[in-house]
Amino acid sequence: MQKEQSETNKKAWSYRAYEWWEKKSGTPKDAAADMKCNPEKYLRKHLGYMGDVKGKNIAVLLGSNGRKAIPLALLGASVTIVDISPENQRYALEVAREAGVEIEYIVSDVFEIDLDRLRHNYDVVYLEGGILHYFVDLNPFARIVYDLLKTGGRLVLNDFHPIRKFLRFAENQGVEIEGDYFDSRLFDGAVAYRNMFPQSERSEFPDCLLRLWNMGEIISAIASCGLVIEQLIEEPRTEGNTFLPGSFTLVANKYIFQQQPF
């Protein structure tokens, strides 16, 4: 099932993604110039969870167009992106070249990476903004994160808050309850940038196949793979209704000991 989901999402993220990044962030040259001015701005408070990144090996999984990985490389980290979309890779590598940094960009389903080469390689595994809904089961994903990390390494995982499973936000800032927090079904959903294109072109965009997770499922998957959760920070929405959570960041560490199965 993961294979089918990943193939569907690869198709979705390979359709006009390069064009979208140029629309959104400008030419690779413009995007690189902005990153070089202030790389920290792109990493927001997540940088604070990574310590001094200079000299660290960082894997940015589902790292898309490089808007996190390239600023990390500008700050002196050695960065590997894993992402399923060749269109994202093309944009990211062009931005990296313009920014004067080298990054490794692996175009692959995260579930099919070469663990023999990458195991125990990373000080930090970083994922951000629209991640877990691409997975049909969180346990194999958590296991891959565990395997990629060195002992003493750290996961920084930021994603949309699961409250979105049952809240809908109207344009007038109204909030409605709709949906089921415990819904475990896969569903078709528009790729993130589809609605930024003219209405007349939207039907041509292949859909993503998504699964929304609740907080208990997320925490349980990360904890049960052997990582020790240090913090779970719930962050307020940034555009309206700021009394509700919009995202969360989970920080978890890989320590030396490994718990025996209970």
Binding site for ligand SAM (CB under 6 A): 6, 9, 13, 62-65, 67-68, 82-85, 88, 109-110, 128-130, 134, 192
Kindly state the tokens that stand for 199: 């209405």
Which residue's beta carbon is nearest to the bound ligand SAM? Answer: 130
For the chain, give percent helix, strand, coil, nearest 5. Answer: 40, 25, 35
At which residue do the structure tokens 């997320």 appear? Answer: 218
- Phi and psi, residue 207, nearest 5°: -75, 160
Can you tell me the distance from the alpha carbon of 157 to that of 67, in angstroms, rounded to the nearest whole number?
A: 16
- To ligand SAM, the closest distance from the beta carbon of 129 in angstroms equals 4
Q: Are 98 and 73 in contact (CB under 8 A)?
A: no
Q: Which H helix or E strand runs over 2?
A: helix 2-13
- Phi and psi, residue 258, nearest 5°: -125, 125
- Give the sign of the dihedral formed by CA 26, CA 79, CA 113, CA 148: negative
Q: 64 vs 78, which CB is nearer to ligand SAM? A: 64
Q: 137 vs 241, which CB is nearer to ligand SAM? A: 137
Q: 129 vs 240, which CB is nearer to ligand SAM? A: 129
- To ligand SAM, the closest distance from the beta carbon of 243 in angstroms equals 25
Q: 208 vs 222, which CB is nearer to ligand SAM? A: 208
- To ligand SAM, the closest distance from the beta carbon of 255 in angstroms equals 26
- To ligand SAM, the closest distance from the beta carbon of 126 in angstroms equals 8
- To ligand SAM, the closest distance from the beta carbon of 262 in angstroms equals 30
Q: 78 vs 88, which CB is nearer to ligand SAM? A: 88
Q: 81 vs 252, which CB is nearer to ligand SAM? A: 81
DSSP output for 114-179: -HHHHTT-EEEEEEESS-GGG-S-HHHHHHHHHHHEEEEEEEEEEEE-GGGGTEEE-TTS-EEE-S
- To ligand SAM, the closest distance from the beta carbon of 84 in angstroms equals 4
